[in-house]
Structure 1
């Protein structure tokens, strides 16, 4: 595995997509791009929705990607445009980057990557840039178009500002900075975007982040079908609900076994501290958690916390019930084929009766 993202020289005229992007950039800004950056989308083979529980996953990159053409300027401005006409242009000061979680536009995902690098570098002033983005990953399709955009932006921000980080560090930064837009993912999407290699899937493990090759069968073909139903992770609470439900389950299971539950956030941490097998964790779930819905009040009673603490410490901004609603937690004791989803909880906001 290469330690740093590769820098290569490519004959633009030999690549139709690059040529089209170069022409779009020149038409938009009246000058040629200085360099290009690319980040692939991904499909997950094994381990759905368990990376944010701390468990390993097995994704692979796909050929669809986010590609950006970039040049640098001294204006302290970031100019963003997209080859897709429905995505509007945006300009912002590189010294005053604000991300609106309530309005998840495409350029805010880009700015997550920029802001994440800026924070990592100690909030240093960033160079201005002009950028045109071209994406071939279907938007909101579950193939990580948004995470690839964040990764691409982080990568090119490093290059614009003459900094260097290895791919593991870039993956970890990108995973954290996507939370600026309100998505509380576990890091799988960003990790495979940076750590992928041709001809192999990757077993990705966390804490610490590491990736191992899982060779694909010679001649194997993977077909990804698109139902064309879009789901914007940041525009709804559906994704974060699953993160929150697992967080609540972690606390309940840890407290039931006398662990310091206040510091535990992931189900894998409970399993590690108990030195328990998956089968033992399944029995723990059956013993501690009941299948009937948990009200907000019951969650607070079990954990010995106030409603305010529940909202502040366990929920995310878009999983809060409003004052007229109630929070309901459902247990889902499913089969063993999905390693940690057997511990899955789901949180739903329902109208008060």
Structure 2
């Protein structure tokens, strides 16, 4: 599982997609790519929205992927282009990478991966790069196009700078660095993108990250249906607000049972501390939480914290909704979902 990402020699002439990408790169930059990097999208079979609570999930990779052609230079500039003309070119200094959370453009997701590797290496100077990206994962469709782009960028940045990391380390770095753009996921998308193997789904567990093969039935066919309604995770608070709900629920459940709730962030940690079954956790949720929406004032009163502490310690930037006190969505329902789906 922890093997290094494979390096494979492929005849470009035998792969139409690679051939088209090579031609696009040469047309754009007037030179041939030095190497290619690829990261797949994913579907999740079981375990929706529980990875960021510390619980195991069962995803598998799909054939749709992010593919990038790369060359390396000493310019200290990163030049990014996309084969899809609706995505604009972008150039940035490799020494000064800034990611605008309020403007989640495609190249900022790419730069999350670059910056994640740079931070992991101790903010060392990075090589200049020229990249052309080609994606076959429908954007904002729930198939992890953005996470695959982050993973692909992390992988090619490592290769361009002659560094070596195993796939588990790359998955963990990619999960953390996607938060540069404001998405507070749990690591499922990045883990399956790096750890996937042909013919199997993966049971992915966390703390520590590990993956086990779940062999798919012989001859099984999985149909992925796209409703064509797009949802950019970083552009809205819809994804993060659920993460926040579960984080608040963690604190409230832990405090109700006399645990050191300040250090606990995930529902799985509460279950572990209490040595409780799933059925016992369901009963605890029903006992401590109510199904009606919680106001910020109510959350603060329950935890004995100020509204400022709520914002800085528990809410993400895109779930703070200004300075006014507004009702949070139903914490109870999110928490209940976690244990029912688990």
Distance of 1:134 and 1:119 partners within structure 2? 26
Q: Helix, strand or coil for the counterpart of 1:95?
A: coil
> 2:196 & 2:292 partners in 1: Cα distance?
42
RMSD: 2.4
Q: Is the 8 A contact 2:249 2:335 kept in 1?
A: no
SS state at 1:326 partner = coil
Pair 270,80 (structure 1): closer, same or farther in 2 beyond 3 Å:
same
Does structure 1 residue 213 correspond to structure 2 residue 213?
yes
Contact kept? 2:77, 2:92, Cα under 8 Å: yes
Query: In the superposition, relative to structure 1, how do residues 328 and 287 fare at CA in structure 2: closer, same or farther (>3 Å)?
Result: farther
Matched, 1:105 2:105: yes
Describe the superposition over 1:185-212 as per-residue Cα deviations: whole angstroms up to 9, x where unpaired.
Answer: 0000000000000000000000000000
CA distance in structure 1 between the partners assigned to 2:141 and 2:324 by the alignment: 28
| Native 8 Å contact 1:82 1:88 kept in 2 | yes
Q: TM-score with structure 1 length normalisation?
A: 0.91
Whether the 8 Å CA contact 1:66–1:135 is kept in 2: the answer is yes
Q: Deviations over 1:112-143 (max 9, x none)?
A: 00000000000000000000000000000000
Q: Determine if contact 1:112/1:178 at 8 Å carries over to the other structure.
A: yes
Rounded Cα–Cα distance in structure 2 between residues aligned with 1:342 and 1:183? 20
Distance verdict in 2 for CA 1:289–1:2, change over 3 Å: closer
Q: CA deviation at 1:271?
A: 0.2
Scaled by the length of structure 2, what TM-score is found? Answer: 0.94
> Which SS does the other structure have where 1:177 is aligned?
helix
> In structure 2, do the counterparts of structure 1 residues 179 and 50 end up closer, same or farther at CA, with 3 Å as the change threshold?
same
1:328 deviation in Å?
A: 8.2
Residue aligning to 1:119: 119
After TM superposition, give the deviation of residue 342 of structure 1 in Å.
Answer: 4.7
Name the CA distance, whole Å, in 1 between partners of 2:148 and 2:223: 20
The Cα offsets for residues 231-260 of structure 1, whole Å up to 9 and x where unpaired, read as 000000000000000000000000000000
Q: Deviations over 1:146-184 (max 9, x none)?
A: 000000000000000000000000000000000000000
**Structure 1 ranges of 4+ moved more than 2 A:** 325-329, 341-344
| Unmatched tracts of structure 1, length 5 or more | 320-324, 330-340, 345-352
Q: Distance in 2 between matches of 1:50 and 1:276?
A: 17
Following superposition, the deviation at residue 295 of structure 1 comes to 1.1
Q: How many residues align?
A: 329
CA, structure 1 residues 264+2, in 2 after alignment: closer, same or farther (shift >3 Å)? closer
Counterpart for residue 60 of structure 1: 60
1:110, 1:150 within 8 Å by CA — same for their partners in 2?
yes
Deviation of 1:343 (Å): 3.2
Structure 2 stretches lacking a partner, 5+ long: 327-333
Contact 2:297 2:325 in 1 (8 A): no
SS in 2 for 1:327: coil
Per the TM alignment, residue 2 of structure 1 is displaced from its structure 2 partner at its CA by 5.8
For 1:84 and 1:290, the matched residues in 2 are separated by 47
Contact 1:249–1:343 (CA under 8 A) maintained in structure 2: no
Alpha-carbon distance in 1 for matches of 2:89, 2:309: 40
CA distance in 1, matches of 2:325, 2:68: 43
- 1:342 pairs, out of 316, 335, 338, with 335
CA contact (8 A) 1:293 1:328 kept: no
Specify the alignment match of 1:328 in structure 2.
325
CA shift for structure 1 position 294:
1.4
